Structure formats: C-alpha cells, structure tokens
A and B are shown apart, each in its own frame.
Chain A
Amino acid sequence: MMIDWVHFTFWQSLAGGALIGLAATMLILFNGQVAGISGIVGKLFDMRQGAWRFAFVIGLLLSPWLYRLFAALPEAQFEFGWPLYLVAGLTVGLGSRLGSGCTSGHGVCGLSRLSKRSLAATLVFMGTGFVTVYVARHLIGG
C-alpha cells in the first residue's frame, strides 16, 4: 500500500468529520432523530410528522451556498459520463433503502450508537466499495 501524502488532508478531514458528528448530535438531541441521509430522503414524502426531514434537506441543499460566503468551495471531481452516475445512483438508492442506511446512518450514527447491526452494514459496504474501485480502476480501467 502506498499512501498519497499529497492529497491526505488530515486536519481538514478530521474537522469536517467533527462537524458531521456535531450535526448528527444536534439532530438526535434536539429532534430525537437519526441523521441518516438515505432514510431522510427515502421518507421525505411520507407526510406524517415528516416536516423536519424537509427542513434538514433544505439546510443540506443551502450548505454549499452558505459555505461560499466564508470560503471557496472545494473542488468536486466528477470524472465520468452521465450513464455511470445513473447506474450508481440507482444502485445507491436501492441498496441504501434495502440495507436501511448508508454512510451517515450506519457509518456515523450507527457506529456512534455502538450498534453491531450498523457495524456489519458498514463493513459490508466498505468492503464492496473497495472491491468495486479495485475492479473498475485496476482490472477494467488499467
């Protein structure tokens, strides 16, 4: 394994992670809700007592615009054509709802709750994520 020291943003990523943890903490302590994005989006149109989900998503959508008031937006590298994002989006939507969570619900909130179920989910999606990038970059992409 070769570490990419040039792109390794130790402090920035740690601080950004802490902000994500802070947001999840706020949502559970004030609203009593878990900050799992796939769950929030998947149930966005379930109208019973779901207004907080709209508020959260609106906040998330406003975040890059507010961020820009303080600092330049970071680079976002989208390196492929749209068909790949179509397939990936479908898979992410289907998989995250079937598996009851994604990186935020299982990876951040679930692990913070010390849930074994979320640990299992996180290990599985990290595993298939690693394998997918290996296959795409080193076996097919070359």
Chain B
Amino acid sequence: MALLSAALAGVIFGFGLLLSGMANPGKVQGFLDLAGAWDPSLAMVMIGAIAVGLVGFGIAKRQAHSLLKLPMELPAATQIDRKLLTGSALFGIGWGLAGICPGPGLVTMAMGIPQAIVFVVAMLAGMQLLRFIQK
C-alpha cells in the first residue's frame, strides 16, 4: 500500500508539473526573466500548490502517524545557516541557467529529451560529488 500511494503521488506530481508549465524550461525562464516579457504563470503554480499543501501539512503536523501507520517524518531543522543559504544560492543559479529543477528534469528525461538526460546525469553526479566532499 505504501509503495502504491508513493507511486500514485509521483504520477500526480508529474501531471501537475506537465499541466502547470513547470516541465517547460522556456516557460520557467520566462518567469525568472523579470526584465523581459514576464510570464507570471509560475506564481500561480506556487499559489495552487501551497493552497492545497497548507491543508495537507496542517493536518499532518497534528498527527504522530500517517494514515498507513507509518511515522510522520516532518523535517525538524529550523536553523538558517550558511549551508542552507549557499546551497540554495547555487541551486537558484543552476535553475536559472537551464530553467529546470529536479522534478521537471526527471519528467522531461522520461520524455526522451537528450538535454534533459544530460541534466539529470549531471545532477546525480553533483549530488554524489557533494557526498564525496562532505566525507
């Protein structure tokens, strides 16, 4: 059951990325380009996602266990430190350069787009590189 619900969540997440325009790097860059012809669509994606998420996480916060009796693993970290800020700054640079973040990278890779495959492979390498540096 837990695997089925996770897979279904993955499918719905992907549908959301496709429908919203997040899986189109050109559209993402249109949002990030404040000085050009600005496409506000991504702001609507955030509003739609957070409006629903507020309800979901609002309920989740008050539960010790999930509906499938699994532990509720909400992040515990609250500190705003240099790691968080440096990492996020780097992430934003990469996101701006290509117009792709991890979710849309996976979805467009599955669509067979060669540049997306390069992106995902490099992203996995970047993740492993960090693990290596931190050891």
Bound: A76/B23 CA distance, A: 7
Which residues of B sit under 8 angstroms from A55, Cβ to Cβ?
A: 2-4, 6-7, 10
Count residues of chain B with CB under 8 A from any CB of chain A: 117
| Given A60-B10, A88-B98, A102 contacting B91 (CB threshold 8 A) | yes
| Given A91-B90, A111-B53, A125 contacting B11 (CB threshold 8 A) | no
Interface string of A16-27 (1 = CB under 8 A from B): 111111111111
Which partner residue on chain A sits nearest B18 by CB separation? A67
Which residues of A sit under 8 angstroms from B67, Cβ to Cβ?
A: 29-30
Bound: A113/B59 CA distance, A: 10
Count residues of chain A with CB under 8 A from any CB of chain B: 112
Q: Does A86 contact B (CB under 8 A)?
A: yes
Provide the main secondary structure of the chain A interface: helix
Interface hub of A92, A97, A99 (most chain B Cβ within 10 A):
A92
Which residues of B sit under 8 angstroms from A60, Cβ to Cβ?
A: 10-11, 13-14, 103, 106-107, 110
Contact of B74 among A34, A97, A121, A125 (CB under 8 A): A34
**7 closest Cβ pairs, A-B complex:** A59-B10, A63-B14, A16-B20, A93-B126, A99-B87, A17-B48, A25-B56
Chain A residues packing against B (C-beta within 8 Å): 1-4, 7-10, 12-35, 37-38, 41-42, 51-53, 55-67, 73-82, 84-104, 106-117, 120-122, 124-134, 136-138
